Amino acid sequence: MPSSLASRPIGVFDSGIGGLTVTRALMERLPFEDIVYFGDTARVPYGVKSIATIEQFGQQIVDFMLQQEVKLLVIACNTIAAVAANKLRERVSVPVLDVIGAGAANAVAASRNGAIGVIATPTTVNSNAYARGVHALRADARVFSQACPLLVPLVEEGWLDHPVTRMTVQEYLKPVLAEGIDTLILGCTHYPLLKPLLAQEVGNAIKLVDSAVSVAEQVAATLADLELATPSRDEADYRYYVTDIPLRFQTTGERFLGRSLRHLEMVHL
Ligand code: DGL
């Protein structure tokens, strides 16, 4: 019999819709787990906001998530994880995993020459959080980060294989590729959707580290360690909470999630 704690949902939160890529990775890796998703769609994007604002918003979100009685929290948003993860962890007693810790660990495992590239939002890059995560595991690693502010809107537009996106990616990657990296961290919720295009641009010699897949692996390992995994069953329950339902939300959300998006509710924090 699962403990009552084990039967609780996993909480996943993001600044908006992008964290649905992390939710998708979790659904694929842990199909029996219930998931509660929160996206702050009224206040997105966070990637260009100040640390103080992101911390404040993050605290409001965590308080909401705790009311949902989750057994584990996943910070799906790289920007929130980069600047507020420690503060948010102080507020809760359930385990809190985040895309940055998981992505950095996978990148260190994947890299042979220790030259690791990171692409992310400006706030994530300025925080140096991925570099710190990498250096904590491999002190002699060299980390080259590039802010890519134009990629979030291009992905939300659905331009996943579009000449404008390709040119933008080429421009952003130029300085990072010049450093001889053998591993590239996709340090933003939106970038897993660009994986095919990015793979073409960087070539076979460079490994792409998807932080969404990385954190899903960590969640699976943590639930197993703590004996909190939900046993096999027919289907899991998914609920989505957002602070606004903007135009085309359903279409864009389903593209990120890779399946239909039902049980959507609007809430105010
Ligand atoms: N979710 C954000 C991230 O992963 C991207 C969108 C935003 O800027 O809020 O960094």
* CATH number of the domain bearing residue 227: 3.40.50.1860
Ligand 1 proximity of 152 Cβ (cutoff 6 Å): yes
Please tell me the distance from the alpha carbon of residue 26 to that of residue 258, in angstroms, as a whole number.
12
Atom of ligand 1 nearest to the CA of 47: 8
The band of 97, judged by pLDDT with boundaries at 50, 70 and 90, is very high
Nearest residue CA, atom 1 of ligand 1? 77
Backbone φ, ψ for residue 26 (5° rounding) = -65, -40
Ligand 1 proximity of 44 Cβ (cutoff 6 Å): yes
Single residue among 194, 211, 228 that ends a domain in this structure: 211
The band of 4, judged by pLDDT with boundaries at 50, 70 and 90, is confident
pLDDT at 142: 98
Distance from Cα 227 to the centre of ligand 1, integer Å: 31
Q: Is 148 a catalytic residue?
A: no
Ligand 1 proximity of 185 Cβ (cutoff 6 Å): no
Tokens 């990385």, residue located: 214
Nearest to 194 by CA among 170, 174, 217: 170
Atom of ligand 1 nearest to the CA of 188: 4
The single-letter DSSP state of residue 194 is G
Does 2 score more than 70 pLDDT?
no
Ligand 1 proximity of 18 Cβ (cutoff 6 Å): yes
Does 1 score more than 60 pLDDT?
no
Instruction: Write the DSSP assignment of 113-133 as a string of letters.
Output: SSEEEEEE-HHHHHHTHHHHH
pLDDT at 136: 98
- Domain match, 199 and 135 both: yes
- Domain match, 113 and 206 both: yes
Q: How many residues would you count in the chain?
A: 269
Instruction: Give the residue-averaged pLDDT of 27-55.
Output: 96
pLDDT at 3: 60
The single-letter DSSP state of residue 45 is -
Tens-digit pLDDT profile for residues 178-223: 999 999 999 999 999 999 999 999 999 999 999 999 999 999 999 9
Ligand 1 proximity of 124 Cβ (cutoff 6 Å): yes
Tens-digit pLDDT profile for residues 106-142: 999 999 999 999 999 999 999 999 999 999 999 999 9
Distance from Cα 5 to the centre of ligand 1, integer Å: 30
Write down the mean pLDDT value for the chain: 95
Instruction: Give the residue-averaged pLDDT of 151-174.
Output: 97
- Domain match, 93 and 141 both: no
Tens-digit pLDDT profile for residues 73-89: 999 999 999 999 999 99
Nearest to 148 by CA among 78, 80, 81: 78
Does 91 score more than 90 pLDDT?
no
Nearest residue CA, atom 8 of ligand 1? 47
pLDDT at 147: 97
- Domain match, 105 and 207 both: yes
C-alpha angle with apex 149: 122 to 104, nearest 5 degrees? 55
pLDDT at 192: 96
pTM of the model: 0.94
DSSP, collapsed to helix, strand or coil, labels residue 191 as helix
- Domain match, 125 and 199 both: yes
Distance from Cα 180 to the centre of ligand 1, integer Å: 27
The CA distances from residue 242 to 17, 144, 205, in Å, are: 9, 34, 39
Please tell me the distance from the alpha carbon of residue 231 to that of residue 32, in angstroms, as a whole number.
7
- Domain match, 159 and 227 both: no
Catalytic residue among 62, 73, 74, 77: 77
Single residue among 192, 211, 230 that ends a domain in this structure: 211
- Domain match, 16 and 83 both: yes
Single residue among 165, 189, 211 that ends a domain in this structure: 211
- Domain match, 219 and 232 both: yes
Nearest to 67 by CA among 9, 6, 2: 9
- Domain match, 46 and 125 both: no
- Domain match, 186 and 168 both: yes
- Domain match, 67 and 161 both: no
Does 248 score more than 90 pLDDT?
no
| Number of structural domains found in the chain | 2
Ligand 1 proximity of 16 Cβ (cutoff 6 Å): yes
Does 102 score more than 80 pLDDT?
yes
- Domain match, 125 and 52 both: no
Instruction: Give the residue-averaged pLDDT of 32-37.
Output: 97
Instruction: Give the residue-averaged pLDDT of 153-167.
Output: 96
Domain that holds residue 198: 101-211
Ligand 1 proximity of 47 Cβ (cutoff 6 Å): yes
pLDDT at 249: 86
pLDDT at 178: 97
